[in-house]
Chain A
Amino acid sequence: MTTLDSTTAAATPVLRQRVLVLYLDNSALDSRVIGWSRYDGTGRSSPTAGDSDEPPYETGVAALLDGWRLIQASQLIPPYPGGEYDVSFLKHEFVFEQLVDIGAAHGAPAATG
């Protein structure tokens, strides 16, 4: 029978997800950020409605450059017949994630993704 020694256990990452949602000016990922939301699976921060006036990134690509991984982008869906001039939800939503090792022994949690 084998057991994990303490060195192996300490090296096992404990991953949690941070989510960033960016709303962009058009369907291009390098267009301007017009809205943003954050959710923190590490529990170390509690972002909420109306907590900042400045976006974390100027464009979607800027988030990629900072290590965020894109996991979902809005589809481009034609307007419903008769509703071509209606305004409703923001159309260009991009969802990003970072995986954070909350088991890191020292300092700030390490983003892995």
Chain B
Amino acid sequence: MTETEAEPETAATTANGEPRGTLLSSVQMARFVARGALRLDAVVPDGMNAEALGVLADGMEHVPYGTPLSQAYREGSFVQRLLELPQVAGALRSLVGPEPAVDHHAVHIREPHGGEAQPLHADSIIDVRPDAFDVQLMYYPQEVTLEMGGTLSVPGSHLRRTNETDTGRYQNLRGQDRLVCPAGTVVFLHHGLWHGGRRNDSETVRYMYKIRFAPRVRQRLLWDTTDLHDPRVNSELDVQFPWYEQAAGRLERYNRVLLWRELTGDSTFDLTHPWVTRVTNRPTATAPGSAPVRSEEDAA
């Protein structure tokens, strides 16, 4: 299709005919920036969840790194239908934009009373991009109980500069999230979030399907921005998690502000406590009536 043949934009599709889905609000995006995760409970219908158990048990075809999403999965396939669900499509588009690349995907299976808990880790390698991020979709087709060893994750850990399993010494942190969720839950994680599969102490095989997506456009104002100046944006970005040291918790806010500035293009944004503004205040104007400053070169 050429540009001149573009379809008219509708409520369900963009001008390029892509599913728009239910975009995230600014408050939801701010929550993701602070927490590094977005959880959508029971967004996948029961029929698809039942189908998923067979699909995941059979395994998935390999998708080469970097495949654009529209080319990664066959028309009508389970995964394509999963990703077209309005809330899933909208969240994905809000986070990484249209037509992201598939980095990789994998089916995770935890046998009953099998395996050990994974050490707390961030996937891949240390990744400190200040103006871009990948997301990992995690889909749980079954109800996950505490005994089934759902994914452990640590809210607000995604901006920590650590490499992969170097955090393995940390077994438990206050406010950690031991996932317990209804069937059909989808969670999106920022690539840097500390997480790990927990030991399955139940009698049930646990399935989880993961896809990592990389953006192919600049991640700026990709969500529904009509509430961009809602005061709850500020309060979401200002949240303190129980495992933060007091001092580091302030630095977390500083780093969230920088990320929010990148995502919005607003280089002056700050929180009520102006963590970034305060420490970057270096005036260059000369005070009225004061003598001009002479450099060493002028004096020589």
Do residues A53 and B178 form an inter-chain contact, with CB atoms below 8 A? yes
For the complex, what is the distance from the CA of A34 to the CA of B175, rounded to whole Å? 9
Nearest residue in B to A83 (C-beta to C-beta)? B161
A contact face: mostly helix, strand, loop, or mixed:
loop
Known pairs A34-B242, A86-B251; A49 contacts B171 (CB<8 A): yes
In the complex, what residues of A have CB within 8 A of residue B254's CB? 85
Q: Does B116 contact A (CB under 8 A)?
A: yes
In the complex, what residues of A have CB within 8 A of residue B176's CB? 50, 53
Q: Does B247 contact A (CB under 8 A)?
A: yes
Interface string of A25-46 (1 = CB under 8 A from B): 1100000011111100000000
A28: shortest Cβ distance to chain B, in Å?
11
User: How many residues on chain B are close to A (CB under 8 Å)?
Assistant: 37
Interface string of B151-176 (1 = CB under 8 A from A): 01000000111100011111111101
For the complex, what is the distance from the CA of A50 to the CA of B243, rounded to whole Å? 14
Do residues A87 and B169 form an inter-chain contact, with CB atoms below 8 A? no
Q: By CB atoms of chain B within 10 A, which of A34, A55, A85, A89 has the most?
A: A34
In the complex, what residues of A have CB within 8 A of residue B199's CB? 48, 51
In the complex, what residues of B have CB within 8 A of residue A37's CB? 169-172
In the complex, what residues of B have CB within 8 A of residue A88's CB? 160-162
Do residues B162 and A49 form an inter-chain contact, with CB atoms below 8 A? no
User: How many residues on chain A are close to B (CB under 8 Å)?
Assistant: 27
Nearest residue in B to A88 (C-beta to C-beta)? B161
Do residues B172 and A85 form an inter-chain contact, with CB atoms below 8 A? no
Q: Does B245 contact A (CB under 8 A)?
A: yes
Do residues B170 and A87 form an inter-chain contact, with CB atoms below 8 A? no
Q: Does A14 contact B (CB under 8 A)?
A: no
Known pairs A25-B246, A26-B246; A87 contacts B172 (CB<8 A): no
Q: Does A69 contact B (CB under 8 A)?
A: no
In the complex, what residues of B have CB within 8 A of residue A34's CB? 173-174, 242-245
Known pairs A37-B169, A37-B172, A91-B248; A49 contacts B118 (CB<8 A): yes
Among candidates A21, A49, A87, A92, residue contacting B119 with C-beta atoms closer than 8 Å: A49
For the complex, what is the distance from the CA of A85 to the CA of B254, rounded to whole Å? 8
Do residues A49 and B245 form an inter-chain contact, with CB atoms below 8 A? no
For the complex, what is the distance from the CA of A55 to the CA of B254, rounded to whole Å? 28
In the complex, what residues of A have CB within 8 A of residue B89's CB? none
B positions within 8 Å CB-CB of A: 116-120, 149, 152, 159-162, 166-174, 176, 178, 196, 198-199, 242-248, 251-252, 254-255, 279
A positions within 8 Å CB-CB of B: 21, 23-26, 33-38, 47-53, 55, 85-92
